[in-house]
Amino acid sequence: MEAEIQCGIDEAGRGPVIGPMVISIVCCDTEFLKGIGVKDSKVLSRKRRSEIFKSIMDRCHVRYRILSPEEINRMMSMESLNKIEEDEIIELLEYAESTVYIDCYDVIEERAQEAIERRSGKKVVCRHKADAIFPAVSAASIVSKVLRDAEIDKLHEKYGDFGSGYPSDPRTIEFLYGFLKNAREPEKIVRMHWSTVGRIIDEIKNQKKLF
């Protein structure tokens, strides 16, 4: 029986206020992916993700983009995060020949699917929580997550413990207050267009006015 090759795209790090976003495409034999236990990366331990990542990289066709905070800051001065992700997806689609399943970045699946197909000329299926439905998207979520974790480890070594980098993390917020107050080039690791950052900067400015 001929192997069924499936392609999937997913990202890691869309929501954090600190660190990069990684977006990946994986094309691979679905039976192989099921056999190595691919799942939504969020339900796997870091150790298990790393093990599966190695198998994916050895066997599957993988491409990815690591968007640094500086790149995200530059692009968000001109367009939305949804548009940035859409642009990256269009570029990754060049490496796919068959239908590509995508973890949908837009609240309206049909709108994202129509925009991508119109711009790329490729057949795609955009679904929310696609990383829990399609093996290739699960694989892409694992690749993106492992690569982003490695980048975050490097940033922790250089800048200290800023927690997860998500606005919901108290450690991240505590770090941001000190970092935004003292850093010369915060845009190197901080996404300056996030509302969380704007709020903290305003609070820092108001504190200075009191003294």
Domain count, the chain: 2
Euclidean distance between CA atoms 61 and 43, whole angstroms: 23
Cβ neighbours of 161 (radius 10 Å): 9
Residue 179 CA: distances (Å) to CA of 18, 20, 126: 11, 17, 38
* pLDDT for 209: 55
Where is 203: in which H helix or E strand?
helix 195-209
* pLDDT for 208: 66
Q: How many CA atoms does the CB half-sphere of 158 hold within 13 Å?
A: 10
136: CATH:
3.30.420.10
Q: Which among 157, 175, 201 is the end of a domain?
A: 157
- Domain containing 142: what range? 5-157
Euclidean distance between CA atoms 167 and 114, whole angstroms: 31
Q: What pLDDT digit, counting tens, does each position of 98-110 carry?
A: 899 999 999 999 9
Amino acid at 91: E
170: CATH:
1.10.10.460
In this structure, the answer to whether residues 115 and 38 fall within a common structural domain is yes
Q: Which among 157, 175, 191 is the end of a domain?
A: 157
Q: What pLDDT digit, counting tens, does each position of 114-127 carry?
A: 999 999 999 999 99
Q: What pLDDT digit, counting tens, does each position of 139-194 carry?
A: 999 999 999 999 999 999 999 999 999 999 999 999 999 999 988 899 999 999 99
